[in-house]
Amino acid sequence: MTRLFRLIALSLLGLAAMAQPALAADPYPTRPIKWIVPYPPAGTTDVLARIIAQWLTEKLGQSVVVENKPGAGNNLGTEAALTAPPDGYTMLLVNPAHGINATLYKNLNFNVIRDVAPVAGLVRTPNVMEVTPSFPAKTVAEFIAYCKANPKKINMASSGSGTSVHMSGELFKSMTGCDMLHVPYKGAGPALIDLMGGQVDVLFDNLPSSVGHIKNGKLRALAVTSQEREPSMPQLPTVGETVPGYEATAWFGIGMPKGTPREFIDKINAEVNRALADPKMRERLAELGGKPIAGTPEDFGKVIAAETAKWEKVVISSGAKVE
C-alpha cells in the first residue's frame, strides 16, 4: 500500500511538472487592453495611439482598444487610467501635458512621477507654428512685428491648457514679448477647425495632426519649434532661427498604473520597440514628423522626469495660468 501511495505521489508530481510549461505559456494578454487617450479624436495623441494600437493588436493577439477620455486639461483621462487596477489591462498615452501639469495645476489627485509605471517611449515630434493663409504675416519675423503692432488682438489657440501646444505658445510669448490672448480648446481637432475657419489666428500644433492641412494649403506653416529643421519639411525654418534659444518638442509614450507586473510591462515594451524598429512603421511615423524614442521602461521614465523639470521652469517664468 505504501508503495502504491508512493507511485501515485510520483505520478502527481510528474503531472504537475508537465503542467508548468502550459501555465507559463498562458500568454498575456488574455483579453482586450484599454488604452486611455486623454484627448478627443483627431489630434496627434489619438492618431499616434491608433497607429500603435493596430500594431499591438496584430502582434499580441488581443484587441488594444483606444478610449478617448478628454477633459480637465488631460487630467480626467489620466486619473481614470491611474486609478484602474494595475493588472496590465489599462494603458495611458503619456504626453507633454503630464510633465507640464505637474506645475501648472496645484491640486492634482495624482503625481505622474509617483503613480505612473513607465512602459515605453513612442516618438518625439516638433510642434509647428501655423496661421491661416489670409493672415498678414508669412514669416516668424513678420508675425512678431505684426503682433507688436497689434497687442492683445491676436488669438492664440491651443489644444488645452497645459498641453505642449499651449506651452510652446507661452514660451514664444515670453521670449518675443508678443501679447496674445490664449484660447484653449478641448483638443487639437476643434482648435484646427476654428483656425482654418479664421476664428483664431495662430496655433503651435503638434506637427502630425496639422501636416495634412499644411500640405493641402488650408494652413500656412511659419516654422517648426524643434532645434533642427524637420526632415519631412526641410524648407520650413525653425522658430529658433528667428528667436535664438527657442526650442519645444512634444513626446509621447505608454504608461500603466504603478504596481503593474513587470513581466506585462516588459512584454508591451518589447513589442513597441519592435514596432519602432520596423521600416514601414518608421516611414509612417516619419511622414507625421515623429522620431522614435525606443528604449527600456527606465529610459522612458527618464524622459518623463526630464520634461517635467524643463517645463516647470517655463510654467513659472511665463506665469502661465489655467483658464
Q: What is the pLDDT of residue 26?
A: 60
Superfamily of structural domain 126-241: Periplasmic binding protein-like II (3.40.190.10)
- Domain 33-125+250-318: CATH superfamily is Bordetella uptake gene, domain 1 (3.40.190.150)
| Residue 40 clears pLDDT 90, i.e. is over it | no
DSSP, residue by residue, 180-192: -EEEE-SSHHHHH
- Report the predicted TM-score, pTM, of the whole model to 2 decimal places: 0.81
Continuous segment of H or E residues that includes residue 20: helix 2-24
The predicted structure's pLDDT at residue 42: 77
pLDDT at 323: 62
What's the mean per-residue pLDDT of the chain?
A: 90
Position 314 scores a pLDDT of: 86
- At 1 the pLDDT is 42
Instruction: Specify the domain boundaries for CATH 3.40.190.10 within the chain.
Output: 126-241
Q: Crossing angle of helices 279-287/44-60, nearest 10°?
A: 170
pLDDT of residue 318: 78
Place of cell 495645476: 105
From the CB of residue 244, how many other CB atoms can be counted at a distance below 10 Å? 8
Measured distance CA(72)–CA(74) in Å, rounded: 6
Contact 117, 265 (CB under 8 A): yes
pLDDT, tens only, 135-164: 999 999 999 999 999 999 999 999 888 788
Cβ neighbours around 297 below 10 Å, total = 20
Chain region(s) in the chain for CATH 3.40.190.150: 33-125+250-318
In this model, does residue 4 exceed pLDDT 90? Answer: no
Residue ranges in 31-181 assigned as alpha helix (H): 44-60, 75-82, 96-104, 112-115, 140-149, 164-176
